[in-house]
């Protein structure tokens, strides 16, 4: 195809393209080039619309996974936030109770679930970094708090031994808190009906009920008698640090003098031996040679309401069983 027309010059015997035809040819080439560019662009757009690139495929798959797992992610984020909030409240309560002051300020910003779920890779790394810094802050605060607890609540070995020697459990299985029928102090004597000083407490336990050592210690007295007077069959245990416990009117004795016993060990069974009007356990706590009110020591394993019930039973002015 010829785009140009030529003019013959007889003088030079040469042909020259006419100017008008040259302009028309250039326009044709420009139009053809532009058309080619438009067609190429259109083909690229159509390809992008019709076919996904590898990157697009990965993004679509990632979005599908996020949509599928979003409820689970939301529940986990809720759980994390609730746990952090609960720990902060517990820390504040303990710190206030032990030190009478509020703890230092800790960041309590909540986790933005929508931000986490919709974050790009870069934003997600930023969020993780923020959570990591907050976790580090909590760990550091916990370490400081534990150090303060340790300095404030430090207990020496001697004090631990003293605490372990205190008789703190009930000597019988009194889960319903109704077996303690007579308390410490002035009570009515069941034999002569006059007032006398009752040196312990009486548990109305049926004959054969298990009797427990109320603290670890060494058996120092085992007494067995058939006389219908006094303590009858009884055991005394030395717990150290001035504490001795006495278990009287027993039916059976299951330990020997000099034996080491642990807290909660069965040492015998309740009965009606000695000067007793009904099967029961007479229990005493002796501190530095003097009888003290056992109710003040029966704290372990009882709720505040249960201990209040024990105090109420012990305070009743009634007749003892021995």
Euclidean distance between CA atoms 268 and 251, whole angstroms: 7
* Largest Cα–Cα separation, the chain: 168
In three-state secondary structure terms, 111 is coil
Cβ atoms 3, 25 nearer than 8 A: yes
| Dist CA 40 CA 300 (whole Å) | 87
Confidence (pLDDT) at 152: 57
H or E stretch including 148? helix 121-152
Closest CA to 266 of 247, 291, 279: 247
- Per-domain residue ranges for the chain? 6-50, 54-152, 164-315
Model pLDDT, residue 50: 63
Phi, psi dihedrals of residue 100, rounded to the nearest 5°: 60, 20
Mean pLDDT, rounded, of the chain? 79
Answer whether residue 66 shows pLDDT above 90.
no
Tell me which residue of 229, 256, 250, 241 sits closest to 171, measured CA to CA: 250
Two tokens, residue 115: 């931000």
Superfamily of structural domain 164-315? Glucose Permease (Domain IIA) (2.70.70.10)
Helix, strand, coil percentages in the chain from 3-state DSSP, rounded to 5: 45, 20, 35
User: pLDDT tens digits, residue range 269-322?
Assistant: 999 999 999 999 999 999 999 999 999 999 888 888 899 999 999 999 999 999
3-class SS of residue 3: coil
Which residues, in sequence order, are bridge partners of residue 12? Answer: none
* Residues β-bridged to residue 203: 180, 281
Exposed / middle / buried, residue 210 (Cβ in 10 Å: 0-12, 13-18, 19+) = middle
Does this model's pTM top 0.75? My answer is no
Q: What confidence tens digit (pLDDT) does each residue in 138-173 have? A: 666 666 666 655 555 566 667 777 788 899 999 999
């Amino acid at each position: 195809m010829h785009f140009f027309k030529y003019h013959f010059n007889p003088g030079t015997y040469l042909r020259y393209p006419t100017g008008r035809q040259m302009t028309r040819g250039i326009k044709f080439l420009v139009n053809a080039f532009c058309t080619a560019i438009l067609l190429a662009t259109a083909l690229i757009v159509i390809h992008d619309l019709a076919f996904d690139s590898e990157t697009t495929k990965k993004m679509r798959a990632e979005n599908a996974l996020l949509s599928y797992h979003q409820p689970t992610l939301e529940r986990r984020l809720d759980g994390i936030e609730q746990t952090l909030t609960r720990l902060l409240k517990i820390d504040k309560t303990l710190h206030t109770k032990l030190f009478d002051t509020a703890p230092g300020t800790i960041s309590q910003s909540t986790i933005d679930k929508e931000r986490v779920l919709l974050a790009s890779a870069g934003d997600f790394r930023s969020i993780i970094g923020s959570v990591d810094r907050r976790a580090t802050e909590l760990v550091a605060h916990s370490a400081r708090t534990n150090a303060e607890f340790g300095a404030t609540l430090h207990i020496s070995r001697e004090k631990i031994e003293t605490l372990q020697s205190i008789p703190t459990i009930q000597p019988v299985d009194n889960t319903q808190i109704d077996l303690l029928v007579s308390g410490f102090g002035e009570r009515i004597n069941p034999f002569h009906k006059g007032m006398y000083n009752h040196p312990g407490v009486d548990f109305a336990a049926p004959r054969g009920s298990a009797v427990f050592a109320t603290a670890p210690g060494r058996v120092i007295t085992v007494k067995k008698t058939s006389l219908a007077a006094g303590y009858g069959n009884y055991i005394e245990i030395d717990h150290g640090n001035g504490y001795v416990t006495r278990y009287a009117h027993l039916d059976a004795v299951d330990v020997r003098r000099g034996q080491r016993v642990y807290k909660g060990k069965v040492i015998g069974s309740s009965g009606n031996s000695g000067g007793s009007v009904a099967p029961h356990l007479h229990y005493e706590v002796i501190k530095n040679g003097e009888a003290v009110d056992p109710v003040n020591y029966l704290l372990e394993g009882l709720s505040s309401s249960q201990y209040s019930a024990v105090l109420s039973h012990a305070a009743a002015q009634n007749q003892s069983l021995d």
